[in-house]
Amino acid sequence: MTNIPEIGQTAPDFSTPDQNDQLVNLADFNEWIVLYFYPKDDTPGCTTEAKDFTDLAAEFTALGAKIIGVSPDSSKSHCKFIAKHNLEITLLSDPEHQLIETYGGWRLKKFMGKEYMGVARSTFLISPDKIIGHSWANVKTKGHAQAVLKKLQELTTK
């Protein structure tokens, strides 16, 4: 049911609106992309993850990478989230979870004994030639942005 792109595969293309309702296409980028999927704006884990990526944004930029977060939230919600936490990353709005499903992030989850479909926190490093360089399928927020930066450093110094 979940078809997660594997390392070495071509990254699935996308055309999805950002927080400003501007379409963002994978094909528009000539740099590394950190594409991360998260469940909901302004929740504790998602806020920590977004702030950690923002705190390391300059280091990602120095390595030629752009950070892009994706959730089912609206562009309006993204704007509030960015403003409230001074985020320096791009957030894509995927309310129908088409992009999330394409990257295998719409999965069965369990909470307090109930099962439901939702966004599984996951991250992909996509190379400038649109190849999956690395992926994390079940992300824990603590230390994740640092781990992504470390892996990007390894991949860009090969």
Which member of 11, 34, 46, 70 is catalytic? 46
Quote the DSSP letter at residue 72: S
Q: CA–CA separation, 55 vs 1, rounded Å? A: 35
Is residue 144 within 8 Å of 52, Cβ to Cβ? yes
Q: Is 79 a catalytic residue?
A: no
Nearest to 139 by CA among 66, 52, 57: 52
- What is the helix (H) or strand (E) element at residue 15, kind and residue range? strand 15-17
CB atoms within 10 A of CB 96: 10
* Residues acting as catalytic residues: 46
